[in-house]
Every structure is written in C-alpha cells, then in structure tokens.
Structure 1
Amino acid sequence: MTNQIPVRQVDPATDASNNNKKAETVDLYASRKKIYVKEVKGFFQRIRTVSLWALMGMYFLFCWITVNGEPLIYFNLPEREFLLFGTTFYPEDFILLSGMLIIAAFGLFFITTLFGRVWCGYTCPQTVWTFIFMWVEERIEGSRNKRMKLDKAPNSPEKIRKKTLKHTLWLLIAFATGATFVGYFYPIRELLADIFTLQANGWAYFWVGFFTLATYMNAGWMREQVCLYMCPYARFQSVMYDPDTRAVAYDPGRGEPRGGRKKSASKEELGLGDCIDCGMCVQVCPTGIDIRDGLQYECIGCALCIDACDEVMDKMEYPRGLIRYATENELQGMPSKLLRPRTFGYGAVMVLMIAALVFTLLTRTPAELDVLRDRGALFRMTGQGLVENSYTVKLVNKTEVPQTFELSVSGMDSLRILDNQPVTVASGESRTLPTVVVVDPEAVKETNSGIVFRARSLNDEFLELETESRFVGPTPR
C-alpha cells in the first residue's frame, strides 16, 4: 500500500475539452530528513548558554543538597510526604500543587502573548537536552559540512570510532538524566550505590532505564520531531498570538527582493533588498524551517537565525535586524502595543493565583483537625442518664516531629469527652479516633447545638487546633 495519491493538473485554457491532462504524485506522509544544524555564536546564543547551565545545574544538583539532614527536594511516595526547600507537604496539600500548575500555565500564556515561544527556545527541557546533545555531536564529528560528509561516507574505522564515542557520551548523559530524575523519588546517594552494587529494586532499574532511553531517543534521535508532532504547545500557541505578539520574524519589506551579490556591489543598483539569500538562517534552524516564509508553528523562537543573520549583515556592512524579534504590526509599519486585553487577562489571573498561593502558604497550619459526627444516630442516653453523641476525630501531623495532642470540647455546660486521653501522632501521620461526647441533659438548651473541638499540642505551646461541630440532644423541657 502506498502513501501517495495522484493529483490532476489541468490547463484552464483547455479544461472544457479535457485535453492536456497531467497527473502528479504527491506524498501524503513525508519521511523525516535529518537536519544538520550549523553552529552559530551570538547574543541570543549566549543567553541560551546561561539559561542552559542554570537549569541543568539546578536539575543535577538539587537532589544532592540537604537541609537539616533532609534532601532539598524529595518526593517520598511510600511515606506520602514531599519535601520542598525545607518544608514538608502531604497529600492533603494537593491544592497547593494545583495552584502552582495553574500559575505555571497562565505564566506561559502571559509570556506567549508578549514574546511568542521564548519558553521553547530557552527553557524547555527538550530544547535544553537537544542542544547539549548537538554540542557533543559537534565536538566529536565536527562542523555541519563534516557531519554531512561523515554520514554519507562508507563505514570506516574513523567513522565507527566517532559514532561509537558520540553515542556512548549520549547514553552517559541520558543515564545521568534518568538517575537524577529517579533520585528525586529515591535518595540519590542510596540509589547510585544500590544500582552499581545490584541492590536496587526492580522498579528503580526500570525507571532509570526508561528515562535514560527516553532522553537518548528524544534529544539524540527524534529532536525536532518532538517539537513538531508530540508537543501540544506548538498546536495551541496560535490561539495566543495576535498582530502585537513579538516573535522571531523576517522583515520582507527590507529584505526583498533577495539575491546574491558581492560585498562591494550596490544593492540599489541591483534592485535587491538586504537579504543575500545565503541560507544561513535555514542552516542554523534546529527545526529545519525557512523563517523567510513567515510565521510557522514549527518555529520554537530560539533566535539562532537572528544571530546567524546579524553575523552576515555585519560582514556585508548592512544594519542588523533583518531577522529579529518583531510584531506583525511592526513589520507592516503600524504601531505595536505591548499590553493588550488578553495580556491583562492572563496577567491578572496569574497574579491572583500567586496571591492566593502565598496566602495559603502563609496561613498553612502544621497540623489539621477534622471532626465528623456519626449520622447513624441522633443521640443516645447512657446508663448514667447522660446524653451521648459519637464522632470521628481525625488528626494530621504535618510537622517534622511527633506531636502529642490533648483533646477538649466546649460549647455547653458539663460537656466533656468520654475516656479522654492524650493522643500521639507521628510526623506525617494521619490518625483517626472514634470519640464519644457526653453532657448532662439539664445543660441541653437546644436540640441541635454548636460545639467546638480543640486539640492542643503538649510539645508545642503555639500549636492549637479547633473546629466546629454539632451536638444533638433531646427536646429541652
């Protein structure tokens, strides 16, 4: 079965008589052509280098840093606790994670409306690891032309040596990436010792192997295919673009008509624009597009074409900026606005979510007290003539040390907890206690009265919790 369809080309002048018909075959699915990216240096490349080292440094170092003997970042799934920068979070704090994800999403939307896909070009993990792998490739196999010749050349000891060395280094980087990722869930020092002494459990080997293979394939082999076909951001980014979005763009008004010429030639006499049609912008593009064709979803905003074009403009003694970060309105000679309604909208939601998250963190208590009344019965009368209600008390200790709580209840005269004893809750533990509350019938003024449960820590004088509940009794006389 072929992935091709015939397309009929018709001459309009003879269409009525069905003469001069021609058939052409068009590929429905084009096979991937390897992209050989030319190395370039420049202002934006230096910015990417700084962001790359900063992000990689944080990724590879944070799992090794400890605070008071605890990892700086550690997701302890078996114990259901998560250490982030010296603070312990539990599944009950999932709302905080949701808030952070919402902030990240609207932050991405906000930046995209202003500057396009700068996230993809400078901070996306796929971009970071791909550039690292390309750097290794360039150091071993040489420049773009040398790599192209090497791939076309028949196998030889030199080619096999270079290819083996390249893939070995790729696999080492991928293994370090996979082991580091798992190190955020399995203490990194123990993980590496267990892996190399064959003491790690099967899941540790599986996940290290999985992320090693994923990194090796994505950054080494698939590269731009991940950005073009797998990443959803490339598909929905157009919703956030408008004529005032600043993105990598070619200025056709200045560059066209394009054409080659000598440096000493006058472009005015030749009737040409500033673009000398050297193709450097295409050769340095990691997704293989021609930015001169206009805005394309494949563009990741990496600005390598800007650095390459600026270098050519310098050599030709033309002004820089033929390819630059610009808006559609700017290229058409119209005024461009930085802040627009959608920018305000995304920014406002982001600020509100940040404020809500900060407030939640500042008011977050190191423990929780929840009380649920037994709805199976209204009330019971004890043998001593007291009115009795049953409750389920839940205590959650979010501190780093065990806490012993003393329970009490108030809201009615003679109200007390039956068989009340101090309760010790371990660090990170959630403890559920069946609790019985009794009161003298004479103290019951209403059939449904509000009461307050309190839990006071005997270890921390400042830790006291309270929550409201209801007490149901007989109809007062």
Structure 2
Amino acid sequence: MNGEADKKEIGTVTTIYHEFESWKVNRGEKTIHAKRMPGFFRTVKNYTQLGLWLPFFLFPYLRWNGKQAILFDIQNRQFHFFNLTVLPQDIWMLSLVLLMAAMTLFAVTSVASRVWCGFFCFQTAWTDWFTWIEDKIEGNPLARRKLDDAPLSVDKIRKKGIKHAIWMLIALLTGISFSIWFVDAFDYWNNLVHLNLPKVGWVVLAMFFFGTYILAGFLREQACIWLCPYARIQGVMTDAQTILPTYDAKRGEPRGKLRRGGEAVAQQGDCIDCFQCVQVCPTGVDIRDGQQLGCITCGLCLDACDSVMDKIGKPRGLIRYASLDELSGKQARKMYQHPRTFVYVGIILIALSGIVYGLTHLGAMTLRVIPERQPLFVIMSDGSIQNKYDFKVLNKTDKDIHVRVSAEGGVPGQVIIGAEENPITHHGRGTSFTIFVKAPGQNVKQEVTPIEFRVEGVEDPGISAEYTSNFNGPKH
C-alpha cells in the first residue's frame, strides 16, 4: 500500500487507514515496496548518491595529454592520475588512504551511526535507483503488490519485461564502468563491441552484471541484513551518545488513530499510528520498536513523520535524529566531547599528512645509490682512489629516458667513470647500472667524504633525482 489508501478528509484533518498494523521486519518472505516521499532527507540522499557515484560512471572518460586521466593500470602495475604516476614502490600511500577511509568511516559511525549505509553505500544507491525505475513502470507500492499477485497477462509481461530490461542495462553499464577504471575506456569499448575482450574481461563483466542485477534487483535490503559485514560490526561502534533516527516514545505514546473532527482520546500521544514511517523505510523497519539491525540511518522516516505532523497540526520531531541519552533525559555530549572522536581525527590527520608528503615528494624519477662494501675503495696503480656504486633509478614516466650522471661535493678532481654514454632508464620500472668515482689520492683528506649524486633526463632535464652517499678513502 502506498500509505495513502482510504483517506477521508474531515475538515482540515486527514484520517489514514491502511493494512500495516501487523507489519513486521521482512526476512525475505516478500518483497518490500517502499513508498517514495519528498522531503529533506530524500533530497540529501539523492544528491549524495549522485555526488559519489556519478563520477564512477563518468571519470574514466576524462582524457589528459591524449591518455586516460585516471587509470589503475594493473597489467603494468601503475596508477595514473593526470600527470601523476604511482608505482608499486609507493604502495604505502595506498595503505594510508585505506587507513584514512576506515578511520573516517569509524568516526562518522560513532557519532552519527550508519550514515554511509543510508546515503552513500553502493548497495543502497543501486537498490534506490532500481526501485525508482520499478515505481515509474509498475506504479506506486499498492499497484506493484497487486501486479505481483496478479495472474500472468500481457500487461504484466510487458511491465515486468521493460523493468528487467532497464535493470539489466544498468547492471551492464555498472560492469563496464568498473572495468574501464583498469583499462583504457575507449580501447575497452572497441574490444567489447567487437567481442574481443580477454577472458578476464568477460569474467569481470559477468560478475558485476549478475551481482548488480541480483543484489539491487532481488536481494535489496536482504543484502544489508544478511550479507553485509558492516551491518554486523556497526553495533560496536555506537553507544548511547550516538546520534541516529529515534522515536520519541514519551511524546508519541500511547499511540492511537486520529478521531473524527481531529479529536484524540484522553492520554493519547502524538503518534496517530499512520505507519507512514514504516511504509517509506527501504528495509521495512518500524522505528517505533526501537533500534534494529535493519535500520540504515537514511532518515526517510523523519520526512514521512514530519509530513504527517504538519497535516495534523503537531510539532515536528516525533521521529528525529537524537541520541538515546537525549531521549532518556540525560545530558547529551557534543560531538567534540567524545574522546574517541579525537583518536579517530588524530589518526586521520596523521594518515593525511603522510599522503600529502608522499604526493609532494613523489617526483617523476627516484634514485638510490648503494656503495660497494667489499672493498670500500680501491687504490689504483697511479695512486688514485676509486669507489664503486650501484645506481638504481626508478623511472615513473610513461617513456624511456636517457640520464646524465653528475656529482657535487666529494673530492676535488674526482671523475665519474661508466656513465659516459648516458644510461637508459626504462619507463614504469627500475633500472640498475654501475658507475665508478675516481679521485687523486693526494686530494682524499678524510676517511669518509659526503658526495651527492644527481641523475637528469637528457631528453627532459626537468626530470631528475638526487641521492647523498659517501666517498670512502684510507685512514690518515
């Protein structure tokens, strides 16, 4: 039922009757057809879903310098972000990104419960889109229930066929959109149209197609209740101070129907038992029964209840975002008064600082110089002192580069041997080569002399890297 069945206008008051007096949380016995109502939290939900997931579909098509701007190139073990290239050697930054994301999720959950589930989660978003399509094709919840129970007919086949066809199209686009984050988008489409995808490409596409189609189209809230691990662990992240959708039982109870003329029986609370909060809930939860596993903190029940309160002339907030302590009359602490909030924020800031440092010191090329240890130096026949160094150059660009080797500091009169022909460094991986530094023996005044090596691109001098090492000599 769409929650507005059998409405009877009595003056300015609307009395609502419906079939949900015995509504219980659905455990998969039947499909939940949630009513869609306008309101503040519905608007927030729509915009947050679009803000997070629209880039998922569109960003892979961005081009930069003739190539895909954002690309997780697993085959070549590279991540391209416009001019930035991250290689496996910089994987520690990904660890910090994951740590920051996890801490942000924990912090938000501890303060405002399952905001991720209600407004951002891909399962929530795709299910919401699928049910919106279902609503447009099959009608409101009452019409959809009647259609489900109706015998097979041409009209039923037509509506169900169109709905499932659109669902499959969205599922297919989801699989394609995921795949093109890892391969060039235009090459992928060309291979897909010509049925020339590699085996792994077909497997990934099939997995996302069937996964999206089944999870969002059929399992819906059951995936949240039974399959999602976060739904299980979120309970340990909240406490009586956490803000979440709550029903004010002191104000609402005892609940009862609104009588003719808008008169309420003695001792009746503000809840008129209209079940609008249940009908809009995408997981079938009755928020008036207290906190439940199925509640995803989407706030749609707040919109529904506020609209009813407006109609019957009662103040809003019978269902509102509040902590359990607040409802019980205890002093509610502010967000910044939670000790765990400072812990989460501290970890987030540390991880963010590490990421910023890594990105600002990433560079297009890195250099590591390892001096020979056995022996530390060699005394040549002409009395000069020679050191041997292994150079390891990581070229993070997308092209091979010849490098020019130079050194600053060290010993006066030193010369570099072995890099006269400008060694080539291969793109996207490390390249090793050996050089020697020889200096006149009479100029070596100390046992260890600092020396700074520099490699510089011949084709592009702007690409360079430095490394400080030591020049070793005999004791004096």
Higher relative contact order (CA 8 A, sep 6+): 2
Q: Residue 78 of structure 2 corresponds to which residue in structure 1?
A: 81
Aligned mates of 1:106, 1:90 — CA distance in 2: 25
Quote the residue 1:428 is aligned against: 428
Aligned to 1:458: 458
Other structure's SS at 2:316 match:
coil
- Kindly provide the amino acid, as one letter, of the partner of residue 350 in structure 1: I
What is the aligned counterpart of 1:130 among 127, 131, 136?
127
Question: Displacement, 1:92?
Answer: 2.1
Q: 1:336 aligns to what SS in structure 2? A: coil
Q: Is the 8 A contact 2:130 2:217 kept in 1?
A: yes
Which residues of 2 match residues 81-160 of structure 1 at below 5 A?
81-160=78-157
SS at match of 2:94: helix
Q: Report the equivalent of 2:348.
A: 350
Partners of 2:260 and 2:385 in 1: CA distance? 101
Q: Higher mean Cα deviation, 313-322 or 388-397? A: 388-397
Amino acid at match of 1:291: I
Aligned position for 2:192: 195
Runs of 4+ in 1 over 6 A off after TM superposition: none
* One-letter identity of the residue aligned with 1:371: V
Aligned to 1:215: 212
Letter in 2 for 1:390: K
2:41 is equivalent to residue 44 of structure 1: yes
Percentage of identical aligned residues: 39
Report whether the alignment pairs 1:313 with 2:312. no
Is 1:277 the counterpart of 2:276 in the alignment? no
Partners in 1 of 2:129 and 2:374 — Cα distance?
63
Partner Cα distance (1:408, 1:234) in 2: 58
CA 1:440/1:33 → structure 2, altered by over 3 Å: closer, same or farther?
Answer: farther
Structure 1 equivalent of residue 324 of structure 2: 328
1:396 aligns with 2:414: no
- Residue 420 of structure 1 aligns with an amino acid whose one-letter code is A
Shift of 1:471: 4.5
On the 8 A contact 2:248/2:327 being kept in 1, the answer is yes
Residues 70 and 86 in structure 1, CA contact (< 8 A), matched pair in contact too: no
Task: Assess if the C-alpha contact under 8 Å between 1:386 and 1:439 holds in 2.
Answer: yes
Tell me the SS of whatever aligns to 1:276. coil
Does the 8 A contact of 1:263 with 1:316 survive in 2? no
The answer to whether the 8 Å contact 1:414/1:439 transfers is yes
8 Å contact 2:85–2:364 — kept in the other structure? Answer: no
Which range is displaced more, 297-306 or 168-177?
297-306
1:210 CA displacement: 1.4
Cα 1:391/1:86, change in 2 over 3 Å: closer
Structure-1 residue corresponding to 2:19: none
**Residue number in structure 2 paired with 1:57:** 54
1:78 deviates by 2.4
Q: Give, as a single letter, the amino acid of the residue that structure 2 aligns with 1:309.
A: C
Q: How far did residue 459 of structure 1 move?
A: 4.2
Shift of 1:302: 0.9
Candidates 281, 287, 302, aligned match of 2:283: 287
Distance 1:227 1:442 in 2: 77
Q: Matched residues in 1 for 2:382 and 2:197: separation?
A: 60
Contact 1:313–1:319 at 8 Å: present in 2 too? yes
Residue 297 of structure 2 aligns with which residue?
301
Contact (CA 8 Å) 1:281, 1:308: kept in 2 or not? Answer: yes
Please give the per-residue CA displacement for 1:124-169, whole angstroms capped at 9, x wherever unaligned: 1111111001111111222212222222223222222222222111
Shift of 1:447: 5.3
Aligned partner of 1:238 in structure 2 is 235
- State how many pairs are aligned: 446
Between stretches 188-197 and 33-42, larger displacement belongs to 33-42
Q: Report how far residue 403 of structure 1 moved.
A: 3.6
Matched residues in 1 for 2:71 and 2:376: separation? Answer: 46
Q: Report matched runs for 1:240-255 at 5 Å.
A: 240-255=237-252
Within 2, Cα distance between the matches of 1:279 and 1:273? Answer: 15
